[in-house]
Amino acid sequence: MHAAIFGNVAAIIQKLYANRVRYHSRANEIKQFIRVHRIDQDLANRLEDYFHTTWSLSGGVDTSEVCIALYISSFLKAKILQEEILRD
């Protein structure tokens, strides 16, 4: 019983750590993009805010990847993408 609980807790912690690493990696990629392309500060702030907002709403899940992975019908995929566009 203890081994099962420990295993589940370890898996949860490992997933949280992996998501944290992925988040920081993507945030650093955006900062590098801004630096390399010399984007002005106002637009840079908007880009970073957009990234943080979309990450917090989706948890880092790309809906287009999920649609492809699950073989969702084209009608449902269009509805999902339409809702995503309306949200932005």
Which DSSP letter does residue 42 get?
H
Domain that holds residue 83: 2-87
pLDDT for the residue 54: 83
pLDDT tens digits along 21-77: 989 999 999 999 989 988 889 988 998 998 888 888 777 766 666 555 555 566 666
pTM over 0.85: no
Q: Which residue has the higher pLDDT, 2 or 70?
A: 2
Rounded distance between C-alpha atoms, residue 75 and residue 64, angstroms: 13
Task: Give the H/E segment covering residue 35.
Answer: helix 2-36
At residue 45, the pLDDT reads 92
Number of domains within the chain: 1
Question: Which pLDDT score, from 0 to 100, does residue 74 have?
Answer: 65
